[in-house]
Amino acid sequence: MVDVISVLSTSDLFYGLANSSLERIASHLKSVTFAPDLVICREGDVGHSMYIIVEGNVSVSSNMGWGQRELDRKGPGAVFGEMALISNDVRSATVRTLEETECLQLDSEAFDSLLDKDPIMAQRIAKIMTKRYSTLVHKTSNELLSAYRALIFALANMTESRDPETGAHLERTRHYCVLLAEFLSSHEKFRGEITPSFIDGLYQAAPLHDVGKVAISDSILFKPEELGAAEYEKMKVHTTIGASMMEKVIRQSGSELFRMAYRICLYHHEWWNGEGYPEGISGEAIPLEARIMALADVYDALLSKRVYKPAMAMREAEKRIRDGAGKQFDPIMAEIMLANIGRFEEVYLTYQDEEPA
Protein backbone atom coordinates (compact mmCIF):
# COMPACT_ATOMS: atom_id res chain seq x y z
CA MET A 1 0.00 0.00 0.00
CA VAL A 2 1.43 3.35 -1.07
CA ASP A 3 1.90 5.98 1.60
CA VAL A 4 0.15 8.71 -0.38
CA ILE A 5 0.90 11.49 2.10
CA SER A 6 4.61 10.84 2.00
CA VAL A 7 4.58 10.69 -1.84
CA LEU A 8 2.76 14.03 -1.93
CA SER A 9 4.99 15.71 0.62
CA THR A 10 8.10 14.82 -1.40
CA SER A 11 6.57 15.56 -4.80
CA ASP A 12 7.85 18.58 -6.72
CA LEU A 13 4.46 20.33 -6.69
CA PHE A 14 2.92 19.62 -3.30
CA TYR A 15 5.92 19.67 -0.97
CA GLY A 16 5.71 22.00 1.99
CA LEU A 17 1.88 21.94 2.18
CA ALA A 18 0.16 21.48 5.53
CA ASN A 19 -0.91 17.94 6.40
CA SER A 20 -4.57 18.92 6.25
CA SER A 21 -4.10 20.06 2.63
CA LEU A 22 -2.20 16.89 1.72
CA GLU A 23 -4.98 14.78 3.21
CA ARG A 24 -7.57 16.70 1.22
CA ILE A 25 -5.60 16.09 -2.00
CA ALA A 26 -5.08 12.43 -1.12
CA SER A 27 -8.83 11.89 -0.84
CA HIS A 28 -9.18 12.78 -4.55
CA LEU A 29 -6.31 10.67 -5.88
CA LYS A 30 -6.57 7.34 -7.52
CA SER A 31 -3.74 4.94 -8.09
CA VAL A 32 -3.12 3.88 -11.69
CA THR A 33 -0.50 1.62 -13.21
CA PHE A 34 0.61 2.07 -16.79
CA ALA A 35 2.20 -0.62 -18.93
CA PRO A 36 5.66 0.00 -20.43
CA ASP A 37 5.91 2.10 -23.61
CA LEU A 38 2.47 3.58 -23.20
CA VAL A 39 1.56 7.17 -24.02
CA ILE A 40 -0.07 8.77 -20.95
CA CYS A 41 -0.37 12.31 -22.33
CA ARG A 42 -0.20 13.27 -25.98
CA GLU A 43 1.01 16.69 -27.13
CA GLY A 44 -1.88 18.76 -28.50
CA ASP A 45 -4.59 16.75 -26.70
CA VAL A 46 -6.88 18.34 -24.14
CA GLY A 47 -5.62 17.46 -20.64
CA HIS A 48 -8.08 16.07 -18.10
CA SER A 49 -5.68 14.79 -15.45
CA MET A 50 -2.33 15.34 -13.84
CA TYR A 51 -0.06 12.65 -12.39
CA ILE A 52 2.44 12.15 -9.59
CA ILE A 53 4.92 9.32 -10.18
CA VAL A 54 5.15 6.79 -7.37
CA GLU A 55 7.27 4.15 -9.05
CA GLY A 56 8.84 3.92 -12.51
CA ASN A 57 10.08 6.40 -15.10
CA VAL A 58 8.59 8.32 -18.00
CA SER A 59 10.02 10.13 -20.99
CA VAL A 60 8.80 13.64 -21.88
CA SER A 61 9.14 14.57 -25.53
CA SER A 62 7.96 17.18 -27.95
CA ASN A 63 7.66 17.66 -31.67
CA MET A 64 10.43 20.11 -32.54
CA GLY A 65 9.36 20.67 -36.12
CA TRP A 66 12.26 18.51 -37.33
CA GLY A 67 11.22 15.45 -35.34
CA GLN A 68 10.08 14.11 -32.00
CA ARG A 69 12.78 14.73 -29.39
CA GLU A 70 13.07 13.77 -25.73
CA LEU A 71 13.16 16.83 -23.47
CA ASP A 72 13.33 15.20 -20.07
CA ARG A 73 12.90 12.01 -18.05
CA LYS A 74 10.93 11.96 -14.84
CA GLY A 75 10.95 9.53 -11.94
CA PRO A 76 9.35 9.08 -8.50
CA GLY A 77 8.09 12.33 -6.91
CA ALA A 78 7.86 14.16 -10.24
CA VAL A 79 4.59 15.66 -11.37
CA PHE A 80 3.48 15.84 -15.00
CA GLY A 81 0.40 16.96 -16.89
CA GLU A 82 -0.22 19.83 -14.44
CA MET A 83 0.38 22.64 -16.96
CA ALA A 84 -2.60 21.74 -19.13
CA LEU A 85 -4.83 21.77 -16.03
CA ILE A 86 -3.53 25.05 -14.69
CA SER A 87 -3.47 26.90 -18.00
CA ASN A 88 -6.61 25.19 -19.30
CA ASP A 89 -4.75 24.51 -22.51
CA VAL A 90 -3.76 21.46 -24.54
CA ARG A 91 -0.82 19.25 -23.56
CA SER A 92 2.51 20.87 -24.40
CA ALA A 93 4.43 17.58 -24.52
CA THR A 94 3.99 13.85 -24.89
CA VAL A 95 4.66 11.62 -21.88
CA ARG A 96 5.45 7.93 -22.45
CA THR A 97 6.29 5.27 -19.89
CA LEU A 98 9.77 3.77 -20.06
CA GLU A 99 8.77 0.83 -17.87
CA GLU A 100 5.74 -0.18 -15.86
CA THR A 101 4.90 3.01 -13.99
CA GLU A 102 2.68 3.57 -11.01
CA CYS A 103 1.13 7.02 -10.64
CA LEU A 104 -1.36 8.90 -8.54
CA GLN A 105 -3.91 10.54 -10.79
CA LEU A 106 -5.76 13.78 -10.03
CA ASP A 107 -8.56 14.83 -12.36
CA SER A 108 -9.12 18.40 -13.41
CA GLU A 109 -12.49 18.91 -11.62
CA ALA A 110 -11.00 17.64 -8.36
CA PHE A 111 -7.93 19.85 -8.84
CA ASP A 112 -10.12 22.92 -9.48
CA SER A 113 -12.29 22.30 -6.45
CA LEU A 114 -9.21 21.73 -4.25
CA LEU A 115 -7.79 25.08 -5.35
CA ASP A 116 -11.16 26.78 -4.74
CA LYS A 117 -11.55 25.36 -1.25
CA ASP A 118 -7.98 25.80 -0.10
CA PRO A 119 -6.67 29.27 -1.03
CA ILE A 120 -3.43 28.73 0.93
CA MET A 121 -2.73 25.62 -1.12
CA ALA A 122 -3.58 27.49 -4.32
CA GLN A 123 -1.21 30.27 -3.38
CA ARG A 124 1.56 27.85 -2.51
CA ILE A 125 1.18 25.93 -5.80
CA ALA A 126 1.12 29.19 -7.75
CA LYS A 127 4.41 30.18 -6.07
CA ILE A 128 6.09 26.86 -6.88
CA MET A 129 4.88 27.02 -10.49
CA THR A 130 6.04 30.60 -10.93
CA LYS A 131 9.47 29.79 -9.52
CA ARG A 132 9.78 26.68 -11.67
CA TYR A 133 8.81 28.44 -14.89
CA SER A 134 10.74 31.63 -14.28
CA THR A 135 13.91 29.54 -13.81
CA LEU A 136 13.11 27.79 -17.07
CA VAL A 137 12.42 31.03 -18.94
CA HIS A 138 15.56 32.61 -17.54
CA LYS A 139 17.70 29.65 -18.60
CA THR A 140 16.11 29.49 -22.05
CA SER A 141 16.41 33.21 -22.68
CA ASN A 142 20.05 33.20 -21.56
CA GLU A 143 20.81 30.37 -23.95
CA LEU A 144 18.98 32.12 -26.76
CA LEU A 145 20.77 35.37 -26.06
CA SER A 146 24.21 33.82 -26.13
CA ALA A 147 23.42 31.92 -29.34
CA TYR A 148 22.13 35.14 -30.88
CA ARG A 149 25.28 37.02 -29.87
CA ALA A 150 27.54 34.31 -31.24
CA LEU A 151 25.63 34.40 -34.53
CA ILE A 152 26.04 38.15 -34.87
CA PHE A 153 29.78 37.88 -34.36
CA ALA A 154 29.95 34.97 -36.82
CA LEU A 155 28.12 37.11 -39.36
CA ALA A 156 30.61 39.92 -38.84
CA ASN A 157 33.52 37.53 -39.06
CA MET A 158 32.23 36.30 -42.40
CA THR A 159 33.78 39.39 -43.92
CA GLU A 160 37.11 38.49 -42.36
CA SER A 161 37.90 35.82 -44.94
CA ARG A 162 37.40 38.37 -47.69
CA ASP A 163 38.69 41.43 -45.96
CA PRO A 164 42.15 42.63 -45.05
CA GLU A 165 40.58 43.90 -41.81
CA THR A 166 40.94 41.03 -39.40
CA GLY A 167 39.05 39.47 -36.50
CA ALA A 168 41.36 41.28 -34.09
CA HIS A 169 40.31 44.56 -35.74
CA LEU A 170 36.66 43.70 -35.03
CA GLU A 171 37.49 42.81 -31.44
CA ARG A 172 39.53 45.99 -30.90
CA THR A 173 37.01 48.34 -32.50
CA ARG A 174 34.12 47.02 -30.40
CA HIS A 175 36.26 47.59 -27.29
CA TYR A 176 37.26 51.13 -28.35
CA CYS A 177 33.56 51.82 -28.94
CA VAL A 178 32.62 50.64 -25.45
CA LEU A 179 35.47 52.55 -23.86
CA LEU A 180 34.64 55.76 -25.68
CA ALA A 181 30.92 55.40 -24.97
CA GLU A 182 31.66 54.91 -21.27
CA PHE A 183 33.77 58.07 -21.15
CA LEU A 184 31.11 59.98 -23.10
CA SER A 185 28.31 58.81 -20.80
CA SER A 186 29.59 61.02 -18.00
CA HIS A 187 29.74 64.10 -20.28
CA GLU A 188 26.69 66.39 -20.02
CA LYS A 189 26.25 66.35 -23.81
CA PHE A 190 25.73 62.60 -23.97
CA ARG A 191 24.43 61.80 -20.52
CA GLY A 192 20.99 60.21 -20.76
CA GLU A 193 21.54 59.17 -24.35
CA ILE A 194 24.38 56.75 -23.62
CA THR A 195 22.82 54.18 -21.31
CA PRO A 196 24.15 50.72 -20.34
CA SER A 197 21.82 49.14 -22.90
CA PHE A 198 23.11 51.53 -25.60
CA ILE A 199 26.67 50.46 -24.74
CA ASP A 200 25.76 46.80 -24.78
CA GLY A 201 24.06 47.22 -28.18
CA LEU A 202 27.11 49.05 -29.48
CA TYR A 203 29.39 46.21 -28.33
CA GLN A 204 27.22 43.70 -30.25
CA ALA A 205 26.62 45.79 -33.35
CA ALA A 206 30.07 47.35 -33.90
CA PRO A 207 31.65 44.24 -35.49
CA LEU A 208 29.03 44.44 -38.24
CA HIS A 209 30.24 47.85 -39.49
CA ASP A 210 31.86 46.49 -42.66
CA VAL A 211 29.61 43.50 -43.27
CA GLY A 212 28.69 45.03 -46.65
CA LYS A 213 32.23 44.27 -47.85
CA VAL A 214 31.11 40.72 -48.65
CA ALA A 215 29.73 42.19 -51.85
CA ILE A 216 32.94 44.02 -52.88
CA SER A 217 35.15 42.30 -55.44
CA ASP A 218 38.50 40.78 -54.43
CA SER A 219 40.40 42.93 -56.91
CA ILE A 220 39.36 45.99 -54.89
CA LEU A 221 39.44 44.49 -51.40
CA PHE A 222 42.91 42.98 -51.77
CA LYS A 223 44.51 45.61 -53.97
CA PRO A 224 48.03 46.18 -52.62
CA GLU A 225 48.08 49.84 -53.70
CA GLU A 226 45.75 52.69 -52.86
CA LEU A 227 42.47 52.57 -54.77
CA GLY A 228 41.87 54.62 -57.91
CA ALA A 229 38.88 57.00 -58.02
CA ALA A 230 36.53 54.55 -59.73
CA GLU A 231 37.55 51.71 -57.44
CA TYR A 232 37.07 53.93 -54.41
CA GLU A 233 33.51 54.68 -55.56
CA LYS A 234 32.83 50.94 -55.74
CA MET A 235 34.34 50.42 -52.29
CA LYS A 236 32.09 53.11 -50.77
CA VAL A 237 29.05 51.00 -51.62
CA HIS A 238 29.89 48.63 -48.72
CA THR A 239 28.04 51.09 -46.45
CA THR A 240 24.73 50.94 -48.30
CA ILE A 241 25.04 47.20 -48.95
CA GLY A 242 25.66 46.57 -45.25
CA ALA A 243 22.65 48.74 -44.39
CA SER A 244 20.39 46.89 -46.79
CA MET A 245 21.56 43.56 -45.32
CA MET A 246 20.61 44.87 -41.87
CA GLU A 247 17.28 46.13 -43.23
CA LYS A 248 16.42 42.58 -44.28
CA VAL A 249 17.25 41.34 -40.77
CA ILE A 250 15.12 44.12 -39.24
CA ARG A 251 12.16 42.95 -41.32
CA GLN A 252 12.47 39.55 -39.61
CA SER A 253 13.37 40.83 -36.15
CA GLY A 254 12.60 44.40 -35.15
CA SER A 255 15.36 44.26 -32.56
CA GLU A 256 16.97 47.57 -31.59
CA LEU A 257 20.36 45.95 -31.94
CA PHE A 258 19.97 45.56 -35.70
CA ARG A 259 18.61 49.09 -36.02
CA MET A 260 21.81 50.22 -34.38
CA ALA A 261 23.83 47.97 -36.71
CA TYR A 262 21.96 49.51 -39.65
CA ARG A 263 22.98 53.04 -38.59
CA ILE A 264 26.57 51.95 -37.99
CA CYS A 265 26.85 50.20 -41.38
CA LEU A 266 25.35 53.11 -43.25
CA TYR A 267 26.99 56.07 -41.52
CA HIS A 268 30.39 55.01 -40.17
CA HIS A 269 32.17 56.82 -43.03
CA GLU A 270 30.29 60.10 -42.67
CA TRP A 271 32.41 63.12 -41.65
CA TRP A 272 31.50 65.73 -39.05
CA ASN A 273 31.99 68.45 -41.71
CA GLY A 274 29.76 66.70 -44.27
CA GLU A 275 32.59 65.52 -46.54
CA GLY A 276 32.06 61.82 -45.85
CA TYR A 277 29.90 59.22 -47.57
CA PRO A 278 27.41 57.83 -48.56
CA GLU A 279 24.97 60.68 -47.81
CA GLY A 280 27.31 63.53 -46.86
CA ILE A 281 25.34 64.34 -43.72
CA SER A 282 27.13 66.35 -41.05
CA GLY A 283 27.39 67.13 -37.33
CA GLU A 284 24.79 65.69 -35.03
CA ALA A 285 22.72 64.53 -38.00
CA ILE A 286 25.18 61.62 -38.04
CA PRO A 287 23.82 59.06 -35.56
CA LEU A 288 25.70 58.92 -32.27
CA GLU A 289 26.76 55.27 -32.63
CA ALA A 290 28.16 55.96 -36.12
CA ARG A 291 30.22 58.92 -34.84
CA ILE A 292 31.68 56.68 -32.13
CA MET A 293 32.35 53.92 -34.66
CA ALA A 294 34.09 56.33 -37.04
CA LEU A 295 36.65 57.24 -34.39
CA ALA A 296 37.19 53.64 -33.31
CA ASP A 297 37.51 52.38 -36.88
CA VAL A 298 39.90 55.07 -38.12
CA TYR A 299 42.06 54.94 -35.01
CA ASP A 300 42.51 51.20 -35.40
CA ALA A 301 43.07 51.41 -39.15
CA LEU A 302 45.85 53.96 -38.56
CA LEU A 303 47.61 51.71 -36.07
CA SER A 304 47.25 48.59 -38.23
CA LYS A 305 49.39 47.40 -41.05
CA ARG A 306 47.43 46.92 -44.25
CA VAL A 307 48.44 45.51 -47.63
CA TYR A 308 48.73 49.05 -48.98
CA LYS A 309 50.34 50.75 -45.94
CA PRO A 310 52.56 50.09 -42.92
CA ALA A 311 51.34 50.52 -39.34
CA MET A 312 51.55 54.03 -37.94
CA ALA A 313 53.24 54.92 -34.64
CA MET A 314 50.87 55.59 -31.73
CA ARG A 315 51.84 59.28 -31.39
CA GLU A 316 51.30 59.80 -35.12
CA ALA A 317 47.85 58.15 -34.96
CA GLU A 318 46.98 60.36 -31.99
CA LYS A 319 48.01 63.42 -33.99
CA ARG A 320 45.78 62.32 -36.91
CA ILE A 321 42.81 62.07 -34.55
CA ARG A 322 43.61 65.55 -33.20
CA ASP A 323 43.86 66.98 -36.73
CA GLY A 324 40.56 65.32 -37.68
CA ALA A 325 38.59 66.73 -34.72
CA GLY A 326 35.81 68.97 -36.02
CA LYS A 327 36.56 67.87 -39.61
CA GLN A 328 36.22 64.12 -39.80
CA PHE A 329 35.25 63.51 -36.17
CA ASP A 330 32.83 64.86 -33.60
CA PRO A 331 35.14 67.34 -31.81
CA ILE A 332 33.88 66.58 -28.28
CA MET A 333 34.28 62.84 -28.84
CA ALA A 334 37.76 63.28 -30.26
CA GLU A 335 38.78 65.47 -27.33
CA ILE A 336 37.51 62.91 -24.79
CA MET A 337 39.25 60.09 -26.64
CA LEU A 338 42.54 62.01 -26.73
CA ALA A 339 42.31 62.85 -23.04
CA ASN A 340 42.18 59.11 -22.33
CA ILE A 341 44.31 57.86 -25.22
CA GLY A 342 46.39 55.56 -22.98
CA ARG A 343 43.33 53.38 -22.39
CA PHE A 344 42.77 53.01 -26.15
CA GLU A 345 46.43 52.08 -26.63
CA GLU A 346 45.97 49.36 -23.99
CA VAL A 347 43.07 47.92 -25.98
CA TYR A 348 45.19 47.96 -29.14
CA LEU A 349 47.97 46.04 -27.39
CA THR A 350 45.58 43.57 -25.73
CA TYR A 351 43.85 42.31 -28.87
CA GLN A 352 46.50 41.42 -31.42
CA ASP A 353 46.26 39.07 -34.36
CA GLU A 354 47.90 35.72 -33.85
CA GLU A 355 50.96 35.41 -36.05
CA PRO A 356 50.36 32.84 -38.79
CA ALA A 357 52.28 29.64 -38.02
Applying CB under 5 A, the residues found at the interface with Fe ion are 165, 210, 297
Minimum CB separation of residue 300 from Fe ion in Å reads 7
Minimum CB separation of residue 173 from Fe ion in Å reads 6
Cβ-based nearer residue to Fe ion, 121 or 177: 177
Cβ-based nearer residue to Fe ion, 96 or 268: 268
Q: 198 Cβ partners below 8 Å, 6+ apart?
A: 181, 289
Minimum CB separation of residue 294 from Fe ion in Å reads 9
Rounded-to-integer distance, Cα 85 and Cα 50, Å: 7
One-character DSSP codes across 216-285:
S-HHHHT-SSPPPHHHHHHHHTHHHHHHHHHHHHHHH---HHHHHHHHHHHHTT--TTS--SSS---GGG
- For CA atoms 62, 68, 69, 74, the dihedral sign is positive
Cβ-based nearer residue to Fe ion, 78 or 286: 286
Minimum CB separation of residue 169 from Fe ion in Å reads 6
Rounded-to-integer distance, Cα 232 and Cα 278, Å: 12
Minimum CB separation of residue 268 from Fe ion in Å reads 6
Strands 58-63 and 94-97, how do they pair? antiparallel
Rounded-to-integer distance, Cα 265 and Cα 25, Å: 61
Cβ-based nearer residue to Fe ion, 102 or 210: 210
What distance separates the 2 farthest-apart alpha carbons in the chain? 90
